[in-house]
C-alpha cells in the first residue's frame, strides 16, 4: 500500500509540474505550504513510501493535486484507497460533483496544435508546429514568457502621459517578437490564444493604435516613404509634398487616438542618411510637446539607443527621452518549461532537462531544440540523433550562452 501511495503521489506531482510548467521542487514546496508546512520536505519524504500519519493531510494533498493537475476521479479513488481511507466516496463526490457517477476525466488544457483547425477541413492534414525556428514570433499563441517586461511596459502605457521605452538585447534575444506581442495581445479574441494567456493588460485597449515600423525594410529608411507609411496607419491625409514640416503639422493637429509607434532595429534607421538629426529631433518634439502625451515610442536596439546614436554620429535629444530601458535575457525556468510543455507530443523529463540546460532558457534556442525533438518523435527516430542535430543548429548562437 505504501509503495502504491508513493507511486500515485509522484504521478500527481509530475502532472502538476507539466500542467503548470514548474520544476518538481517548486511544486513540492507549494504543496507543503498548502498543508501548513514550511516547504516541501514532508512531500519528498512521503514520496519515498511514507504515508502521512494524519488523514487530513492525505485529503488536503489529494484535493490540491486534483485541482492543480486536472486529474481524474479514478486517480483520486486509487490514491485514497492506497491509504485505506475510511470513506473515499465522500471526498470523491465533493471534488467531482458533476461526474461522480460517470467517472469522467477532467479535460486537460488544449494542446497548441488543436487550437488550429486542419487545413481546408481535412482531418488528416498536419497542423503548424508550435515551435518557430528563424523568424520572429508574430502569432501571439506561440509567444511565451517575458512576464516581467510585459507587466512593466503595459504599466507605463496605462495612463497619460505615455512614456517612451527602449528594449535592448543581443541579436536573437526576442526583441522583435516582443514588439509583435505588445501590438496584438490586448485586442485578440481568447479563442486565438492558449488557455490562460492574459489580454487584460490595458483598461481600454480598443482605444489605442499601434504602428509597427521595421527599419530592416529599406523603404522605412526613406524619409518620405516612412512619413507616408505613418500617416496611412494613423488614418490621416497625406500632403503633397509629404515632407517633415507637413507631417508635423498634420499629426500635431489631428492626433486624437492614443498611439504607440514601435520602432524595430533602430540601428538600421541610424545608418540611413535621410533619417538625420533634424528628423529625430522632430520626433522628439512630436512625442514630448505636440501631442498631449498621447504618443509614445517603443524602440529596439542591440545597445543603449543614445550610445548607438553617438557612435553613428547622430546624437539627438530624441534618444534621451527613453527613460525606461528593458534588457532582454533568457526566459525564467518556469517560462521556458511552459514553452517546452506546449509540444503536441509530451517530452520525457530527461529530454526537458537537457533542453533547458543546453538552451540556457533563451527562447530562440528553446525553439530550435524543441523543434528537433518534436520532429524526431513524429518520425519515430530513436536514439540521440536529434540532440546532435539540435546542437549543430545552435552553433551560430553560442554568443547568447556566453552572455548569461
Per-residue pLDDT at 127: 53
Rounded Cα distance between 240 and 223, Å, is 14
Q: Tell me the pTM.
A: 0.71
Q: What is the CA radius of gyration of the chain?
A: 26
Per-residue pLDDT at 38: 78
Per-residue pLDDT at 49: 85
**CB–CB of 246/239 below 8 Å?**
yes
Per-residue pLDDT at 319: 96
**CB–CB of 356/333 below 8 Å?**
yes
Per-residue pLDDT at 109: 38
Per-residue pLDDT at 128: 61
Q: Where are the domains of the chain?
A: 2-95, 162-327
Per-residue pLDDT at 184: 96
pLDDT tens digits, residue range 142-181? 999 999 999 999 999 999 999 999 999 999 999 999 999 9
pLDDT tens digits, residue range 85-131? 999 899 998 888 854 333 333 333 334 444 444 444 444 444 566 79
Per-residue pLDDT at 16: 83
Per-residue pLDDT at 171: 95
Alpha carbon separation from 44 to 25, 32, 47, 55 (Å, rounded): 9, 9, 5, 18
In the CATH hierarchy, which top-level class contains the domain 162-327?
A: alpha beta
Rounded Cα distance between 157 and 376, Å, is 43
Beta-carbon count within 10 A of 71 CB: 24
Per-residue pLDDT at 72: 83
Rounded Cα distance between 84 and 337, Å, is 36
Per-residue pLDDT at 11: 83
Per-residue pLDDT at 48: 86
Per-residue pLDDT at 98: 57
Per-residue pLDDT at 403: 57
**CB–CB of 79/61 below 8 Å?**
no
3-state secondary structure the chain: CHHHHHHHHHHHHHHHHHHHCCCHHHHHHHHHHHCCCCCCHHHHHHCCCCCCCCHHHHHHHHHHHHHHHCCCHHHHHHHHHCCCCCCHHHHHHHHCCCCCCCCCCCCCCCCHHHHCCCHHHCCCCCCCCCCCCCCCCCCHHHCCCCHHHHHHHHHHCCCCCCCCEEEECCCCCCHHHHHHHHHHHHHCCHHHCCCCCCCCCCCCHHHCEEEEEECCCHHHHCHHHHHHHHHHHCCCCCCCCCCHHHHHHHHHHHCCCCEEEEEECHHHHHCCCCCCHHHHHHHHHHHHCCCCCCEEEEEEECCCHHHHHHHCCCCCHHHHCCCEEEECCCCCHHHHHHHHHCCCCCCCHHHHHHHHHHHCCCHHHHHHHHHHHHHHHHCCCCCCHHHHHHHHHHHHHHHHHCCC
pLDDT under 50 in the chain at which residues? 99-126
End-to-end CA, the chain: 47
Amino acid at each position: 500500500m505504501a509503495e502504491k501511495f508513493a507511486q500515485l503521489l509522484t504521478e500527481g506531482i509530475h502532472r502538476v509540474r507539466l500542467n503548470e510548467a514548474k520544476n518538481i521542487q517548486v511544486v513540492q514546496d507549494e504543496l507543503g505550504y498548502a498543508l501548513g508546512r514550511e516547504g516541501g520536505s514532508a512531500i519528498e519524504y512521503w514520496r519515498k513510501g511514507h504515508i502521512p500519519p494524519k488523514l487530513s493531510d492525505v485529503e488536503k494533498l489529494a484535493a490540491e493535486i486534483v485541482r492543480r493537475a486536472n486529474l481524474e476521479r479514478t486517480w483520486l479513488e486509487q490514491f485514497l484507497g492506497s491509504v485505506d481511507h475510511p470513506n473515499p466516496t465522500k471526498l470523491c463526490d465533493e471534488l467531482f460533483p458533476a461526474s461522480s457517477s460517470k467517472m469522467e476525466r477532467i479535460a486537460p488544457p488544449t494542446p497548441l496544435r488543436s487550437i488550429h483547425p486542419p487545413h481546408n477541413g481535412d482531418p488528416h492534414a498536419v497542423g503548424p508546429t508550435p515551435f518557430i525556428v528563424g523568424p520572429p514570433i508574430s502569432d501571439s499563441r506561440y509567444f511565451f514568457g517575458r512576464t516581467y517586461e510585459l507587466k512593466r511596459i503595459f504599466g507605463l502605457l496605462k495612463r497619460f502621459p505615455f512614456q517612451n521605452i527602449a528594449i535592448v538585447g543581443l541579436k536573437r534575444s526576442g526583441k522583435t517578437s516582443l514588439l509583435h506581442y505588445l501590438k496584438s495581445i490586448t485586442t485578440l479574441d481568447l479563442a486565438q490564444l492558449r488557455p490562460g494567456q492574459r489580454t487584460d493588460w490595458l483598461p481600454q485597449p480598443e482605444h489605442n493604435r499601434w504602428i509597427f515600423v521595421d527599419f530592416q525594410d529599406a523603404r522605412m529608411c526613406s524619409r518620405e516613404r516612412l512619413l507616408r507609411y505613418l500617416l496611412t496607419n494613423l488614418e490621416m491625409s497625406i500632403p503633397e509634398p509629404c515632407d517633415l514640416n507637413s507631417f508635423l503639422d498634420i499629426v500635431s493637429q489631428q492626433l486624437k487616438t492614443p498611439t504607440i509607434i514601435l520602432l524595430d532595429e533602430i540601428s538600421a534607421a541610424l545608418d540611413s542618411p535621410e533619417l538625420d538629426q533634424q528628423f529625430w529631433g522632430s520626433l522628439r518634439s512630436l512625442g514630448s510637446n505636440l501631442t498631449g502625451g498621447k504618443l509614445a515610442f517603443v524602440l529596439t536596439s542591440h545597445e543603449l539607443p543614445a550610445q548607438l546614436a553617438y557612435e553613428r554620429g547622430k546624437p539627438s535629444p530624441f534618444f534621451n527621452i527613453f527613460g525606461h530601458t528593458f534588457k532582454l535575457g533568457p526566459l525564467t525556468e518556469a517560462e521556458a518549461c511552459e514553452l517546452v510543455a506546449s509540444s503536441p507530443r509530451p517530452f520525457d523529463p530527461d529530454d526537458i532537462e537537457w533542453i533547458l540546460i543546453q538552451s540556457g532558457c533563451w527562447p530562440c534556442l528553446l525553439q530550435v531544440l524543441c523543434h528537433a525533438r518534436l520532429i524526431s518523435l513524429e518520425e519515430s527516430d530513436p536514439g540521440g540523433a536529434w540532440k546532435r542535430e539540435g546542437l549543430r543548429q545552435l552553433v551560430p548562437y553560442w554568443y547568447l550562452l556566453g552572455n548569461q
